[in-house]
Structure 1
Amino acid sequence: MKVVEEEQLITVMDGPWSPTSLIREIVESGTQEDPFYIMDMGEVVARYQRWKELMPRVEPFYAVKCNDDKLLVSTLAALGTGFDCASKAEIELVTSIGVAPERIIFANPAKMASHIRYASAVGVDVMTFDSETELVKIKQYMPHAQLVIRIRCDAAAAQCPLGIKFGCDPVTEAPRLLKYAAVLGLEVIGVSFHVGSGASETEVYARAIGLSRALFAVGHNVGHKAMRLLDIGGGFPGGTHTSIKEVAEVINAALEDQFPERAVRVIAEPGRYFAAAAYTLATMVHAKREITSNDPDAETHTMYFINDGVYGSFNCVLYDHQSVVAEPLSAGGRVGACSVWGPTCDGLDCVLPAARLPALAAGDWLVFRDMGAYTLPVASPFNGFPVPTVRPVVDTRLACMLKELRPLSASQFASSRAQPPAAGGAGGAPPASAPPAPPPAAPPALPPVFVECALK
């Protein structure tokens, strides 16, 4: 029997709302015990619009590994982004919602042979490489591939350095690899780099674009006459209070200086830029323990145990080197020294080893913002504790536009209402006994949202 996958329902909100206000209403219902996310689809759309305004020449290809939530991927596909996929499974996800293979780059420089064969079978022709071994493998399994050489150019500081694993030296290795690809009869169409995930230096993009320009000339000289793609990778900030304005200015200036010809297509691989701020996590304190010191003047330390931890959403503390911030859902009194721990029986499961929070009781909730990047894809139900569910929410004005864009569908959008989703999932109708809500006041006009043809 074929199992039909249910559509993820989206709650459409009338009137003012915020992730925190929705979380408060949900937990005050008294039926919620497991951790959950509020996903703000409007945040994703706003960031797409901001990207197009600041870097109109650079096409975003969302890095699926950052957060493979199908609704997030579908929303970005509806807006018109491309996709950076690193595996067969990620390619399957993106193509399953109707994205054309031309909108995908297989951006893993060390690919498994079976994954290369799959990419070839579904028409994903553009892929990266950074070694002779990879060129030989591609020659064997996909000789018609459109290749992009990945070079190393690291930011002075980054949340997750990537050059230690991927990218050939642009001066000593790249020219040799371009020649070797020509000898093998493979076609190299461009250059890519990744300055590091969560990079805190902006000028590194100018350096990398300059190195790429030099390699375009080398590639042309050794026989790659169709060098036409520049992939500037990721590294863009995604937190609520961050901006890409400064890095956009650096990139735009470098492109005008090094690649003034518009025949060269420029793409990027943003991940956390789109995902981080769109997700807010709610967790419940289910136990506490007070540790007293033999020193009578020492402050009592409280250990709080919550229902999500480093084996779940907070794997980002270990894997992505994130510094998370806990906010009590309800206002408290005097703050005190504490630590926050996950629910598993592993002593490593520590979310915050040292913090200062108001006194909390079992049943109180903590809110964590900017939790959409490198959290859900790595979360596991270790020790039997569930991975948090996602409750997608969108403003009614934006819903009218999104429901018309494939691969989203009108049936995914629940009836417009001011209440949060019922426990156990987004969507659903309000109780029959509920009185009709008064018509909302006319909202202020939104700026226009520019989207590309969703499945071109």
Structure 2
Amino acid sequence: MPETATPIQLSQIREPSLVEQTIRERIEVNQQKKEIKNADLGHEGDRAFFVVDLGQVYKQHQRWMIELPQVQPYYAVKCNPDPRLIMFLSKLGVGFDCASVDEMKLVLNLTPDPSRIIFSNPCKSDYSIRFAADAGVGIMSFDNLDELEKIKKFYPGAHLLIRIFASDPTALVHLESKYGASLDSTMTLLRRAFALKLKVVGVSFHVGSGAGDVAAIGQAVKDSSLVLEEARSVGFNPHILNVGGGFQDSNFELISNALRTALERQIPNNITIIAEPGRYFARNAYTLACTVIGRRQVCNGLMDMIYQNDGVYAYTTSTSTSFNGFSNLYPTVYICSEATVSDLI
């Protein structure tokens, strides 16, 4: 588990109101660069950029500690692998949920403590299992028999979480068709793991990204309680429950209350509870500053068409594709005085 958090002074955290000021400062710097004779800015002069407000991350962490103090967060690195964000979360005592070798390498290069990583991908390549073993990443998940055979061959000392089926019909991204063992298969998996002399230390689930159904949370915790008992009956000593991700800024208190209630009713006090928040930490901390590079008047349309220097094949890919469940972007326009369109970046 992650070690005690390093204290961070509130004075180190920038206020959200400074985001606009930071964008304006960047514009002024680039305007000064353009005044240099024969300066060749190349692509740098026409590049969109992010303004990162780590104060938002800090506030979300404080909010988490108030609402879910009994749940240790492991940040889902796949959500946003920005090294600055990872370092900051590390200082707050947050662990890291990795789904690939590259993500594990990134975290280990920044915070070289493998005990702070869980390898949560239930379907892993042989190489990735060997890498986790060599790196000392101890906890990983599984949800099928083939995965158990691979783990036995390449990392028999791993501590395993059996991932079970969970589903929130209101989630923005559904995972139930991709991952999670059904309740009628968990005993078979647990018995096979025991026969292979593997170490099942707990249960995990994920109701889907952008969860909103409190009943789905309650059902997943109830199912987890049953599988924890199954693991005990087989001969394991499970002590971890991973409640996955899906946490949102907009309904965090509602979901947290439902999760707390379910945990208090269904899960013994000696079980360590962990979670995999991703967008919860990253979403509000990043502001993309891009330039309007053109406008086309539409004769028969209600609105003109505006073109910018960033699109679905660049920074906004993960937020604009239907795969990730977030199809709508809501830009904020900042009007900068004494600046032409070409001066904005």
Alpha-carbon distance between aligned partners in 1 of 2:341 and 2:299, rounded to the nearest angstrom: 19
| Aligned positions of 1:173-252 closer than 5 A | 173-224=185-236, 226-238=237-249, 242-252=250-260
Give 1:274's match in structure 2, choosing from 275, 278, 281.
281
**Structure 2: 5+ residue runs without aligned partners?**
1-11, 34-44
Alpha-carbon distance between aligned partners in 1 of 2:255 and 2:14, rounded to the nearest angstrom: 35
Deviation at 1:13, TM superposition (A): 8.3
Query: Percent identity at matched positions?
Result: 38
Deviation at 1:200, TM superposition (A): 2.0
Mean CA deviation greater in 277-286 or 24-33: 24-33
Change (3 A) 1:305 1:13: same
Partner of 1:19: 19
Structure number with greater CO (CA < 8 Å, separation at least 6) is 1
Higher helix share: 2
- What residue identity is the alignment partner of 1:179? R
SS in 1 for 2:304: strand
Deviation at 1:14, TM superposition (A): 8.2
| Aligned positions of 1:100-179 closer than 5 A | 100-169=113-182, 171-179=183-191
Alpha-carbon distance between aligned partners in 2 of 1:309 and 1:16, rounded to the nearest angstrom: 25
Deviation at 1:362, TM superposition (A): 4.1
Deviation at 1:155, TM superposition (A): 0.5
- What residue identity is the alignment partner of 1:303? M
SS in 2 for 1:158: coil
Change (3 A) 1:259 1:300: closer
- What residue identity is the alignment partner of 1:34? R
**Structure 1: 5+ residue runs without aligned partners?**
1-11, 294-298, 333-360, 366-422, 424-456
Deviation at 1:127, TM superposition (A): 0.3
Deviation at 1:24, TM superposition (A): 2.9
Q: Do the aligned partners of 1:150 and 1:193 also contact (CA within 8 Å) in 2?
A: yes
Q: Do the aligned partners of 1:288 and 1:362 also contact (CA within 8 Å) in 2?
A: no
Deviation at 1:52, TM superposition (A): 0.8
Partner of 2:73: 60
How many residue pairs get aligned? The number is: 316
Change (3 A) 1:272 1:15: closer
Q: Do the aligned partners of 2:87 and 2:111 also contact (CA within 8 Å) in 1?
A: no
SS in 2 for 1:198: coil
Higher strand share: 1
Change (3 A) 1:164 1:364: farther
Change (3 A) 1:109 1:303: same
Alpha-carbon distance between aligned partners in 2 of 1:14 and 1:44, rounded to the nearest angstrom: 11
Change (3 A) 1:14 1:272: closer
Partner of 1:303: 305
Alpha-carbon distance between aligned partners in 2 of 1:73 and 1:265, rounded to the nearest angstrom: 23
SS in 1 for 2:222: helix
SS in 2 for 1:62: strand
Give 1:95's match in structure 2, choosing from 102, 108, 112.
108
Cα RMSD (Å): 2.1
Partner of 1:450: none
Alpha-carbon distance between aligned partners in 2 of 1:204 and 1:47, rounded to the nearest angstrom: 23
Give 2:51's match in structure 1, choosing from 15, 32, 38.
38
What do the CA deviations read for 1:303-359 (whole angstroms, capped 9, x no partner)?
Answer: 211111101122121142321102211299xxxxxxxxxxxxxxxxxxxxxxxxxxx
Q: Do the aligned partners of 1:285 and 1:364 also contact (CA within 8 Å) in 2?
A: no
